Structure 1
Amino acid sequence: MTKDTAKKGGAEKGEQQEDLSQREHTRFRTVYSGSVRQKGKAQDCVIKDLSANGAKIKNAMHLIDSEDLLLVINRLGPYKGLRAKVQWRSADRLGISFLDPADQVQATLAELFPNRWAMAEKKTGDK
């Protein structure tokens, strides 16, 4: 889904299509608190789902699409985060893609959320 589609109100349908057709890695639903940092400013957010490729976040609408950001998951601690970029937006949600290699992000997520990650992989059959 393109950013233009999201701006025209097609986000939910497009987002669902993206979920079904473009998943390369295990994705699991979450409700974790975090923050997004961009250009020296931080905003609190809720992380709605995570994968090795990216995340869906809520309540971080003041991000600049063309600028890199840092997603800080509170479980990681205040000085660690995942580098990302905005891929799509809807009324109150953003889709971000991680800039680091998927295997590196996957290892970080598996370490942070071992039980959730193992359950999600078992459901989808991912390695």
Structure 2
Amino acid sequence: MNSDQTRKAQEDRDYDPLSQTRVSHRRVDGIHASEPSRPSPRRAADPYLLRRGRIYYFRKRLPKVISENCCRTFLRLSLRTPLLSEAMSRSARVFAAYQRAETRVMTGHESATSHPKPFSPS
């Protein structure tokens, strides 16, 4: 058996057709145990969440009208938490505040270069 056939045979053994997941094999107290491996997350839980290291950030592309005036393409704020559930909650609050501010700017009630009060996430 060559290396490609060996690898294919190993992949076939590691596939669980019932759950349609790969199975990781490990030894527990000398006994060979198998358990389904966790699928890796393929997309963010929130479209505006970004994780750098342990900390989550809110990141949203700015509209052209605003980005041309303030020289930034994205708004990025630290949510100051390593917890996903807390980050999602804070991201929702930041997004709501962002939408209110964007509406004011777009309707002409405020200039795009004025600086609102800093965000404090808690």
Give the TM bin, normalised by the shorter chain.
Answer: under 0.3
- TM-score, scaled relative to structure 2: 0.23
Structure of larger gyration radius? 2
- TM-score, scaled relative to structure 1: 0.23
